[in-house]
Amino acid sequence: MSATTIVSLPDQSTARIPKVNFLTKENGLLSWLLTGDHKRIATLYLISITFFFFIGGALAGLIRLELLTPQSDLMAADTYNKVFTMHGVIMVFFFLVPSVPATIGNFLIPLMVGAKDLALPKINLLSWYLYVIAGIMAIYTMVAGGVDTGWTFTTPLSTHYLNTNVVSTGLAIFVAGFSSIFTGLNFIVTIHKMRCPGMTWFRLPLFVWSNYAASILMVLGTPVLAITLVLVVLERTVHIGVFDPALGGDPLLFQHLFWFYSHPAVYIMILPGMGVISEVVSTFSRKRVFGYTAVAFSSVAIAVFGFFVWAHHMFIMGISNYAALVFSLLTMLVAVPSAIKIFNWAFTLYKGSITFETPMLYAFGFMGLFTIGGMTGVFLGATGTDIHLTETYFIVAHFHFVMVGGMLMAFLSGIHFWWPKWTGRMYPEKISQLAAVVTFIGFNLTFFPQFILGTLGMPRRYAAYPPEFQVLNVFSSAGASVLGVGYLLPILYLTWSLKYGAIAGDNPWQATGLEWQIQSPPLTENFPEIPIMDHEAYDYEWLERQQQKEVASVG
């Protein structure tokens, strides 16, 4: 074992990937399409969300290309509007919301709690099919001429003033919403009812805690979005007027109902990412997460408070000023648990024994970028500065720091971290470290200038802008191309590693989670026999004793 890495791989000349595992157990397309196995469904999800990520990414590339010059010259304004709308819809509903939960979470939660599968395998499969149906509807929307409401569907613009495919987009999101509800529901039931003997709540890995919190938000928030979209669709088709001021409705009511889901949705997107970071930071510093309980409860606190801050999206939209005060105060409160998490992760490193493999690099990136993203959220949560900064590129930069700098970094970190478990093979370390660094640099170059642009007052969703904003926009577009390379690299070398990667063995990272104590890739039923949890989470001393025992028995 070298001094700079914890990776311990089996002897490559003799090592074999286990003949029987969840990938090889059954063959044929049908065995995948009708599977109940959470790991296979996770794999299906991984493929489909990657597909949508690259569609969304291509649209992002088009946006940055258009913004290279102040005039709207690459695209006409209405094309630009369709591009950023589809970018938002696809990235939010088809990538970010299902990203970590439906792929890594789906794969890991049964493994982490010591169960054979999620509680409701058929519902899990149904959730993927709903996602696919929704995805097809979204693609249909794009092919049929797109939609240009912005992903927020602001009424009465979306209901009365546009003649693009609002209805099909709304229904696509409606269906995708049910996919998300069923995933969340399945997680909650699994975490409550399927834990193995000895697996108490406070022995659960923090990844499970954060997915649990996100699932609560999915289950309780998404239905409100669903009914809101139904009302928007009805408003367009039979003109019922609940959101139409001309008929006596209130467009702000739409904002209330929409953000009641869509603010918690931000936490649906970031919480599972935070869970990944907890696992990764602990594993690569060989230490229990500093203040496990605080980190666990901060996830739940974010979920609970996260429900009652939605109107901070409407401070200048004409809600009552008193309501603005209350929502601003609650927003400040919900910022605190995130701060707690950041410092707890930092102190997990204290007196650890740290190595710097790719997942850890991404985790470091996450911590830096999420700190910026979180702090700028406070700028927007304070009512006063929100007046100046909202609806500008400042807000664009803020949520990209949280969503891309936070969630996407965490997603990539998690994919690299669990890749050996998922496929049985290692990814190539050097090039992936390079990709992590490229992503980090590209990201900052892309989105940091946008904070300055926002402070200068450049409004979001502009196809053309005053020429004095060009320099910063050029920086941003240049950064986007670097970022694009950073995202293309993993898909290339990860595909490569499927065939040529080193055999990983059961526990290449020497991690403590239950998932690492079984073969990689796991068996269809996960555990040969149901495990009994007899130690705390992240107990590296237990792991050491275990390994000594094995050595002794082999010797």
Partner 1 sequence: MSHISPVLWQFLVKWLTNFQLFPPEASKIAPQMDALYFFMVLVSLVGLTLVILLVLSFSLLYSKKRHPVATQIEGSTLLEATWTIIPLGLFLVMFVWGALIYFRVYTPPANAMNIYVVGKQWMWKVEHPGGQHEINSLHVPVNQPVQLTLISQDVFHSFSIPAFRVKREAIPGRYTSVWFEATETGTYHLFCTQYCGTNHSQMIGEVVVMTPDDYRKWLAGSTSGNSLAQDGERLFASLSCNACHNTRPDARGPNLVGVYGSKLTLTSGQTVTVDDAYLRQAILDPAQNITQGYTPIMPTYQGQISEEGVFALVEYLKNLHSDYRLQQTLNTTELLPEAEGKAAPAGKTNAAQGEVKQ
Partner 2 sequence: MSEPTGQDHIVSPKTYAIVAVALLVLTATTAGVSYIELGVFNAVVALAIAVIKAMIVVLFFMHLKYSSKLTKLTAISGIFIFLGLISMTMADYISRAWGRW
Partner 3 sequence: MSDSTAIAHDAHHEHPPYQRHHFETVSQQFDATNFAMWLFLLTEVMFFGGLFTAYLILRNWYYPAFVVGSHQLSIYWGTANTAVLITSSFTLAMGVWCAETKRKSGLVLCLWLTFILGLAFLGIKSIEYHEKWVKHHVPGIRFSVENFTHPQTDPEVYNEYHDKPLSPDMASKTELYFFLYFAMTGMHALHMIIGIAILGYMIIRAKQGAYTTGHVTFVENFGLYWHFVDIIWIFLYPLLYLISRHT
Q: Look at residues 317, 463, 468, 475 and name the one whose alpha carbon lies nearest to residue 391.
A: 317
* Backbone phi and psi for residue 316, each to the nearest 5 degrees, phi listed first: -100, 10
Nearer to partner 2, 311 or 380 (CB): 311
Long-range contacts of the stretch 247-251 (C-beta < 8 A, 24+): 251/154, 251/155, 251/156
Which residues have a Cβ under 8 Å from the Cβ of 103 and sit 6 or more positions away? 42, 45, 46, 49, 415
State the number of binding residues for partner 2 (CB under 8 A). Answer: 17
Q: Quick one: which segment of 204-212, 217-225, 314-322, 427-435 binds partner 3 (CB under 8 A)?
A: 217-225
Inter-residue contact 397 to 451 (CB < 8 Å):
yes
- The span of 19-27, 230-238, 316-324, 411-419 binding partner 1 (CB under 8 A) equals 316-324
Among 167, 308, 391, 517, binds partner 1 (CB under 8 A): 391
| Interacting partner of 517 out of partner 3, partner 2, partner 1, none (Cβ under 5 to 8 A depending on kind) | none
Residue 387 buriedness (CB in 10 A; 0-12 / 13-18 / 19+): exposed
Neighbours of 477 (CB within 10 A): 20
Q: Are 61 and 442 in contact (CB under 8 A)?
A: no
DSSP symbols for 256-321: HHHHHHHHHHHHHHHHHHHHHHHHHHHHHHTSPPTTHHHHHHHHHHHHHHHTT-GGGG-TTTT--H
Instruction: Tokens 């992503």: give the residue.
Output: 439
- Binding-residue pattern over the window 523 to 542 for partner 3, x denoting contact by CB under 8 A: --x----x------------
Q: If contact means CB under 5 to 8 A according to the sort of partner, which of partner 3, partner 1, partner 2, none does residue 319 touch?
A: partner 2
Q: Examine residue 333 and tell whether it contacts partner 1 (CB under 8 A).
A: yes
220 binds partner 3 (CB under 8 A): yes
With CB under 5 to 8 Å by kind, the binding choice for 311 among partner 2, partner 3, partner 1, none is: partner 2
**Nearest Cα to 418, choosing from 19, 49, 107?**
107
Q: Which residues pair with 523 in a beta bridge?
A: 526
Q: Taking the CB of residue 111, how many other CB atoms lie within 10 A of it?
A: 24
- Position 192 contacts partner 2 (CB under 8 A): yes
Identify the sign of the CA torsion 173, 175, 180, 185.
Answer: positive
**Residue 277, both tokens:** 């970071």
Per CB under 8 A, does 6 bind partner 1?
yes
Amino acid (1-letter code) at residue 74 = L
| Residue 248 found at the interface with partner 3 (CB under 8 A) | yes
Closer to partner 3 by CB, 9 or 247: give it.
Answer: 247
Check if the beta carbon of residue 156 is closer than 8 Å to that of residue 244: yes
For 461-504, the DSSP string reads: T-SS--GGGHHHHHHHHHHHHHHHHHHHHHHHHHHHHHHHSPB-
Report the nearest approach of partner 2 to the CB of residue 528 (Å). Answer: 23
**Closest approach of partner 1 to the CB of residue 457, in Å:** 2
Contact status, residue 341 vs residue 350, Cβ threshold 8 Å: no
Directed axis angle between helix 358-381 and helix 321-348, to 10°?
A: 160
Would you give the distance in Å from CA 511 to the centre of its chain?
23
Shortest Å distance, C-beta 278 to partner 2: 25
Total residues contacting partner 3 by CB under 8 A comes to 44
Give the shortest CB-118-to-partner 3 separation in angstroms: 8
Q: Are 98 and 64 in contact (CB under 8 A)?
A: no
36 contacts partner 1 (rule: CB under 8 A)? no
Choose from partner 3, partner 1, partner 2, none: what does 326 bind? Cβ within 5-8 Å by kind: partner 2
Q: Does 113 sit near partner 3 (CB under 8 A)?
A: no
The binder of partner 2 chosen from 311, 349, 361, 415 (CB under 8 A): 311
- Contacted entry of partner 2, partner 3, partner 1, none for residue 533, CB cut-off 5 to 8 Å set by kind: none
Rounding to the nearest 10 degrees, give the CA dihedral for residues 321, 327, 333, 338.
Answer: -120
Chosen from partner 3, partner 1, partner 2, none, partner binding at 308 (C-beta under 5 to 8 Å by type): partner 2
Binds partner 2 (CB under 8 A): choice among 25, 116, 160, 256: 256
From partner 1, partner 3, partner 2, none, interface partner of 322 (C-beta below 5 to 8 A by class): partner 2
Nearer to partner 3, 260 or 364 (CB): 260
Considering the complex, state which of residue 183 and residue 390 has its C-beta at the smaller distance from partner 3. Answer: 183
Establish if 441 lies at the interface with partner 1 (CB under 8 A).
no
Measured CA to CA, the distance from residue 292 to residue 156 in angstroms comes to: 47
Q: Are 442 and 400 in contact (CB under 8 A)?
A: no
| Nearer to partner 1 (CB atom), residue 120 or residue 319 | 319
**Closer CB to partner 2, 322 or 350, in the complex:** 322
Q: Which of 101, 170, 221, 479 binds partner 3 (CB under 8 A)?
A: 221
- Those residues whose C-beta lies under 8 Å from the C-beta of residue 478, and which sit 6 or more positions away, are 445
Instruction: Decide: is 437 part of the binding site for partner 3 (CB under 8 A).
Output: no
Per-residue x/- mask for partner 2, residues 198 to 237, rule CB under 8 A? ----------------------x---x-------------
For residue 215, give the DSSP letter.
H
Q: Hey, which residues between 337 and 396 contact partner 2 (CB under 8 A)?
A: none
Site for partner 1 in 227-256 (CB under 8 A): 245-246, 251-252
Using the rule CB under 8 A, which residue among 18, 61, 241, 428 binds partner 3? Answer: 241
356 binds, among partner 1, partner 3, partner 2, none (CB under 5 to 8 A by kind): partner 1
Minimum distance from residue 259 beta carbon to partner 2 (Å): 10
Residues that bind partner 2 (CB under 8 A): 192, 220, 224, 252-253, 256, 260, 307-308, 311, 318-323, 326
